[in-house]
Chains A and B, each alone.
Chain A
Amino acid sequence: MSAPDRGTRIEPMISWLLIGGVGVSLALEVAGMVLFYLTYGNLNITQDAAVFIRGHDFFSFIYSVFSGRFHDALPLTLMTAGLIVLMLTPFLRVISSAVWFAVVRNFKYVVITLFVLIVLTLSLRLH
């Protein structure tokens, strides 16, 4: 890698975003599992309806979880938050790539990245 290129490259930013997102997400999952044990006294994999994700669309779901209107117990809320952070990691990666391509005026790739972003957003919104 040539040193002068470093500051202008997209790779370090993406790399940190990925490692940070995965780190935070997995930490939340571990915290959720530990609290699950402390709360319920067991670590069983259950088919109880409460452990399944339910809702209408991803973005309003995030809002309801983080605005505290999520009625589940704390362990499940933490695991859900971990899942949300995990899913947001590649999503933020696309958004930041689109911004970066716009900044370096690579408009072909702005269009390509926006296509991926729109398809993803629609899918998260509609399902």
Chain B
Amino acid sequence: MLNIVTLGILSIAVGFLGSLTGLGGASILVPILVLFGIPVKEAIACGMVAIIATSSGSASSFVRERIANVRVAMYLEMFTIVGAIAGATITTVVAPVLLYFFFAAFLLTSFVGLRRSMSGFVPAERQDRLSRWLKLEGSYYDVAEGKEIGYRVNNALPGGFGMMLAGLAAGMLGIGAGAFKVTVQENVLRMPPKVSSTTSNFIIGMTALGGASVYFFSGLLNLTLMAPMAVGATIGAIIGGRVLNRLSTRVLRIMFFVIIVYLIVQMVYKGVTAI
């Protein structure tokens, strides 16, 4: 049966898998907790808090190496935080059964990431007026290519609203919604993949705080759940980040696919049986 130690160990394993597959720990942990009979809203509230730890822990090195763009992140956080607060508020009042289906549906958006990584990055030729005014641009040193890569962010306003949707889903489901954020950043905002995934990771911590602020006094935050989840998932994510480069992309793809399909089936099953 699940106790603080087993949940801690489970969270390490999940944090590890979450960081390898790019799914993030919470989107795997929330359905697993539900499987163990934890009320779905409690699982979501604790997931939201655990994300602050995993995201902030792993973002610190991306920020230091200046791959994540702090200015772009600040701009986009205006949108994600409003979305997250709205999403979390919805979850506190909505019928739990709906959350199973929302969760399963949102996991489907993770598949978009699979196609994305196949195509190369083409920088935007020109910037719209708002992006230019906000100086949404930057450069980073790409180790694999051995050179400084400059980029200009485009479509600041539609991109912002896309991020608001990501924040809404994150706040509602207690997850980072990283795959969705990255999709918006690459396809709408035209950010290079590495800048996009690291900036998304940085933003997730703030978005999660917006969601957590709503859950804080909702009576859903269980300390005996939250503590092992936060500690375990962060340790797992740190280990995952270190071995990521040693695993083949093919193995990662297969793992990703199996996990997502399993989680979707489980949440739908739970939803259907709860009706």
Contact = CB atoms under 8 A, between A and B. Distances in A.
Contacts of B218: 127
Interface residues of B, number: 56
Contacts of B212: 87
B264 interface: no
Interface string B196-234: 000000000110111011101111111111111011001
Contact of B49 (A57, A76, A83): A83
Q: Give chain A's interface secondary structure class.
A: helix
15 contacts: A9-B66, A11-B64, A15-B60, A18-B57, A22-B57, A25-B230, A45-B2, A45-B4, A45-B38, A45-B225, A52-B219, A79-B227, A112-B74, A119-B78, A119-B210
A124 to B, nearest CB: 5
Contacts, number: 166
A87 B231 CA distance: 14
Contacts of B5: 43
Q: Give chain B's interface secondary structure class.
A: helix
Given A1-B141, A26-B231, A115-B78, A44 B63 contact: no
B81 A120 contact: yes
B53 interface: yes
A43 B4 contact: yes
Contacts of A46: 224
A19 B234 CA distance: 11
Contact of B64 (A15, A21, A93, A97): A15
